[in-house]
A = this chain, B = another copy of it.
Amino acid sequence: MKAAIIGVTGYSGIELVRLLENHPYVNIQSIHSSSQVGALLTESYPHLVNHIVLNLEEIDTSKIAENVDVVFMATPSGISSKLAPKLIEQNIKVIDLSGDFRLQDPKVYEKWYKKEAASSEELKKAVYGLSEWNKEEIKSASFIANPGCYPTATLLGIAPLIKHNLIEENSLIIDAKSGVSGAGRHVSLGTHYAEINENFKIYKVNEHQHIPEIEQVLNRWNDNVNAITFSTHLVPMTRGIMATIYANVKSNVTAESLIELYKTSYENSPFVRIREEGNFPATKDVYGSNYCDIGVAYDNRTGRVTVVSVIDNLVKGAAGQAIQNLNIMMEIDEKTGLHRVPVFP
């Protein structure tokens, strides 16, 4: 397949380049950006020398659609709502890594993103690409709204509990932590080295745009879910997300039974690895890979379950899951091009 990447100069964009190079069936045909048009991508990213010799092209949707089979959109929010509809109608596959097509209700999008939403009609065309739980829909999709990084870690961590009706639906508290690459390459005081290093911050308290995305999915799975508490923190590291998830259980469980449930739930999911009792993943265990590692604890003193879910925000939380979704759409082994050992240490 021939692929184009729009927004290739961002961190998700170059991660697509890194991962696709290993993909036997996908070839990057063209790369696009709103800036630096004409320049080699390797001028901004010398680590890519010997791996990609394409020049950045402008974003001309007609021309792109003529030349490729699939387009990855790695643009900031507010861009693909404009561009994706033009691409879709030209009968090519589109995988949107931005948040523009994840929320089905335009009003909800506008409330949390503070930007103009795509129309309801367009939004309906997008299939939510949470690979492990939406595989059948993805298979037949031509337009994927790739999940957010936090929602991926969080939803994979919660799914077995909520689908098996084990927890009080409105007791969910998710305390999430992310490396700084999640904020992208746009410079700001909030990503200025001297302000972030040797520092730990909370941000967007009760205001993160991934809250409605998580709630929308949970509510589809179990319509008793109304609102969650979801907090985001910035960790002085580049890659990695941990979601620490707390919920009250409805009835008696044990750590063993829960871990068994998780193992069964993910037995056909090659990228989800469940830890044994008393073991919990750290973000580095999945560094550079498409894995989501999950550990589960139950505390009978409090009647609460604690789930720890980690991903690499740029891989399973962005470019990796996008390729996994393409694999599913192509009906090839979902591991194709993605079966990589995490980089440790």
Contacts of A273 in B (CB 8 A): 46, 49-50
Is there an interface contact between B238 and A194, defined as CB atoms closer than 8 Å? yes
Cβ contacts under 8 Å, A239 to chain B = 198, 345
A334 within 8 A of B: no
Q: Which residues of B contact A310 (CB under 8 A)?
A: 200
Asked whether A304 lies within 8 Å of B229 as measured between CB atoms, the reply is yes
* A343 CB within 8 Å of chain B: yes
Q: Which residues of B contact A47 (CB under 8 A)?
A: 284-287, 289, 341-342, 344
Which of A53-61, A80-88, A97-105, A275-283 touches B?
A275-283
Nearest CB on B from A156, distance (A): 16
CA distance A175 to B229 in the complex (A): 13
Contacts of A193 in B (CB 8 A): 180, 191-193, 196-197, 236, 238
Binary B-proximity of A50-80 (CB < 8 A = 1, otherwise 0): 1100000000000000000000000000000
User: Can you tell how many copies of this chain the complex includes?
Assistant: 4
Chain B residue at minimal CB-CB distance from A198:
B237
A306 smallest CB distance to B (angstroms): 6
Residues of B within 8 A of A283 (CB): 199-201
- A257-278: which residues lie under 8 A (CB-CB) from chain B? 270, 273, 275
* Contact residues of A between 284 and 316, Cβ < 8 Å to B: 284-289, 291, 293, 295, 297, 299, 301-302, 304, 306, 308, 310
Is residue A170 contacting chain B, with contact meaning CB distance below 8 A? yes
Bound complex: CA of A173 vs CA of B191, how far in Å?
29
Chain B contacts for A201, CB-based, 8 A:
280, 282-283
Hey, which chain B residues are within 8 Å of A180, CB to CB?
193-194, 197
With most chain B CB atoms within 10 A of its CB, the pick from A200, A233, A238 is: A200
The answer to whether A46 and B205 touch across the interface, beta carbons within 8 angstroms, is no
- Of A120-128, A182-190, A323-331, the segment with at least 4 beta carbons within 8 Å of chain B is A182-190
* Bound Cα distance from A287 to B345, whole angstroms: 11
Q: Is A1 an interface residue (CB 8 A)?
A: no
- A residues 1-31 with Cβ under 8 Å of B? 11, 14, 17-18, 21-22
Q: Is the CB of A237 within 8 A of B280?
A: no
Measured between alpha carbons, how far is A50 from B267 in the docked complex, in Å?
12
Q: Does A157 contact B (CB under 8 A)?
A: no
Look across to chain B and name the residue whose beta carbon is closest to the beta carbon of A17.
Answer: B341
Q: Which residue of chain B has the shortest Cβ distance to A200 in the bound complex?
A: B283
| Interfacial residues, chain A to chain B (CB-CB below 8 A) | 11, 14, 17-18, 21-22, 45-51, 170, 173, 175, 177, 179-181, 183, 185, 187-189, 191-203, 205-206, 227-229, 231, 233, 235-240, 242, 244, 246, 270, 273, 275, 279-289, 291, 293, 295, 297, 299, 301-302, 304, 306, 308, 310, 340-345
Name 26 interchain pairs, CB-CB below 8 A, sorted by A: A14-B344, A18-B343, A18-B344, A22-B340, A45-B344, A48-B341, A50-B291, A170-B302, A179-B194, A181-B194, A181-B345, A185-B192, A187-B192, A191-B192, A194-B345, A197-B197, A197-B238, A198-B284, A199-B237, A199-B283, A200-B242, A200-B282, A206-B299, A227-B301, A231-B244, A233-B244
